[in-house]
Amino acid sequence: MVRSCLQRLPWWTLPYIGSIVLVNWLFVTLPMVPTPWGNWTFANIVVGFVFILRDMAQRQLGHYVLLATALGGLFTWATVDPAVALASVTAFIIAEMADWAVYSFTKRPLHERILWSSALSAPLDTIVFQHMIGILTPAAFSMETASKMLGAVAVWLVLRRRMQAEAVGIGQ
């Protein structure tokens, strides 16, 4: 009984909501690092982990993950900076619609849909967010998009291996 209740709890959702607030706080507090390609911040790398947590929370909650994202935006608004919260939620909505379209309309296996939807949504999310908070540079855009795609590739590899293992098990 207790084990059944514990299994139904959305264990990935709370870390996901917390990571939204944390990464937005990092964008506000960490100093920019100058490079020949423009400034960037460590937050541009950390944000990739938020996307992994979102994928895990979405597997548990389905479309209700949007409520968790909104909650993260509200907490960011209240604790970090309303402008950053607005940029974060706006970028997420735009990227999530692109992600949803690829994920919903392609009839590819799950691991491929995740990879292709991320390849479209990660750069969209990055360019909208960075533009809205005034930190869009080639260095920041490249680092953040690469960080998000690293997370997507990690999830893709895990799911692909799981699918291959299941196929071997079925074929025996």
**What is the pLDDT of the chain when averaged over all its residues?**
86
What residue ranges define each of the domains in the chain, with the CATH number in brackets? 11-171 (1.10.1760)
First to last CA, the chain: 35
How far is residue 30's CA from residue 136's CA, in Å, rounded to a whole number? 15
CB-CB neighbours of 119 under 10 Å: 17
pTM of the model: 0.80
Which of 17-26, 35-44, 123-132, 138-147 comes out lowest in average pLDDT?
35-44
Share of the chain above pLDDT 90, in %: 41
Q: Could you report the per-residue pLDDT of 60-117, keeping only the tens digit for each?
A: 888 788 889 899 999 999 999 999 999 998 998 898 788 778 877 887 887 888 888 8
